[in-house]
Structure 1
Amino acid sequence: MKIYGLKTCDTCRKAVKTSGAALVDVRENPLTAAELERFWAAFGEALVNRKSTTWRGLSEAERAGEPLALLAEHPTLMKRPVVERDGQLWLGWGPEVRAELGFA
């Protein structure tokens, strides 16, 4: 099991602590184009965190850009964590995701 997120994110740290999974810090180890495309295929627009400080700091022109390019350029825009287990993906660490993964 892998958790994609940021080591400074409280939710990501909770997910790692609860699951014992390895954390892939997307700031230190940027996602490949293939990984971004796979995440986008699974979650679509939900993958972009439009409530983040990074999003609020972008200009209107930047916000109108291609989402995958934005995520590649600004990894902190990704809603997190993205949890991967056995090739399956989940977004977030809410009660429903924890229940599906057996950590409820």
Structure 2
Amino acid sequence: MKIYGLKNCDTCRKALKALAGFELVDARADGVPQEVLNAAYAQFDAQLLNTRSTTWRGLSEAERAGAPLDLIAQHPALMKRPLIVKDDQMYLGWTKDTQAALGV
């Protein structure tokens, strides 16, 4: 049971605090395994890319046109956070729906 995000992200910290037994994997420091990214992209498609981040706003139009998984590999902060993996289920973001599904 893992939470992929950033250690200094407030939302990731809230999720980690609420979910006992989960491990935080820092996407910037440790990276996200390619198979996890592929599965998340297959499930969430373009929602996986955080287009509201300052990192996104700092990219040129040419860079933004790149493949989403390549962009996330180059700039881990572009991944919407947190990406929560529990057993064979994935959840994206710390929304009320995610919290309800995880029993928080």
Q: Structure 1-normalised TM-score? A: 0.95
1:4 counterpart SS class? strand
Match of 2:4 in 1: 4
Higher alpha-carbon deviation: 1-10 or 26-35: 26-35
For 2:72 and 2:30, the matched residues in 1 are separated by 13
For 1:33 and 1:85, the matched residues in 2 are separated by 17
- Write out per-residue CA displacement over residues 57-90 of structure 1, whole angstroms, 9 at most, x where no aligned residue: 0011000011110010000000000111111100
For 1:37 and 1:22, the matched residues in 2 are separated by 20
For structure 2, list consecutive stretches of 5 or more residues without a partner in the other structure. Answer: none
Match of 2:18 in 1: 18
For 2:72 and 2:65, the matched residues in 1 are separated by 13
Once the 2 structures are TM-superposed, how far is the Cα of residue 35 of structure 1 from its aligned partner?
Answer: 1.9
The number of aligned residues is 103
The CA RMSD over aligned residues, in Å, is 0.8
For 2:94 and 2:51, the matched residues in 1 are separated by 17
Task: Output the amino acid matched with 2:93.
Answer: G
Once the 2 structures are TM-superposed, how far is the Cα of residue 33 of structure 1 from its aligned partner?
Answer: 2.2
Q: Structure 2-normalised TM-score? A: 0.95
For 2:9 and 2:17, the matched residues in 1 are separated by 12
Identity %, equivalent residues? 55
1:35 counterpart SS class? helix
1:89 counterpart SS class? strand
For structure 1, list consecutive stretches of 5 or more residues without a partner in the other structure. Answer: none
